[in-house]
Chains A and B, each alone.
Chain A
Amino acid sequence: RKEVEQDPGPFNVPEGATVAFNCTYSNSASQSFFWYRQDCRKEPKLLMSVYSSGNEDGRFTAQLNRASQYISLLIRDSKLSDSATYLCVVIYNSGGYQKVTFGIGTKLQVIP
């Protein structure tokens, strides 16, 4: 089983739609979770952190479910500019150092 799994998509949604992505992780000792956005041929950029209590930033909501070992990203009122690949990141300590694992990314295409 992969350490971090994401559906690569693509998710094709119309403008204004609500879309949700999930990302599952295998290590129950994982400590930190993030969502990144990566535009085509560009570097990943931090979108938001993920907490058990939830994290909302405008149209974006991130949630952590420790019991089921997954994190989610919800995008409301999708815009054309939201088209990108969304990467989940899971961090845990292993042997005294941080192990950072990226998911493969979920591609979102918002259609006019």
Chain B
Amino acid sequence: SQTIHQWPATLVQPVGSPLSLECTVEGTSNPNLYWYRQAAGRGLQLLFYSVGIGQISSEVPQNLSASRPQDRQFILSSKKLLLSDSGFYLCAWSTGHQPQHFGDGTRLSIL
């Protein structure tokens, strides 16, 4: 069966520090991968999606970036975090027209 792992579960970072969130999927090949952010009291905002290794599309301009170094690995990064980067970050995977499945999420607080 397919599983998705996302870590860390919670993270507290100072403004201006770098960020690296990792997501891995097991049990499937060539999945579509997604990074979302959910701010407090708001809906899910798609940040990045990837249809294959090295293929990243960005939905919104921001100071975050994403990379897919391996088929089942998706990384969200930032060189310098802003206060507005606080939120609940979710990684998800899907194949074809099947629904997405989410990781447990990372709760990021910027101080």
Contact = CB atoms under 8 A, between A and B. Distances in A.
Interface string B76-111: 000000000000101000100101111111010000
Interface of A: 31-32, 34, 36, 41-46, 49, 87, 89, 91, 97-98, 100-105
Given A43-B90, A43-B104, A97-B57, A89 B43 contact: no
A42 B9 CA distance: 11
Contacts of A89: 99-100
B19 interface: no
Given A44-B44, A100-B34, A49 B99 contact: yes
Contacts of B103: 43
A48 to B, nearest CB: 9
The CB with the most chain B CB atoms within 10 A, among A32, A41, A100, A102, is that of A100
Nearest to B42: A104
Interface string B21-58: 00000000000101010000011101001010000010
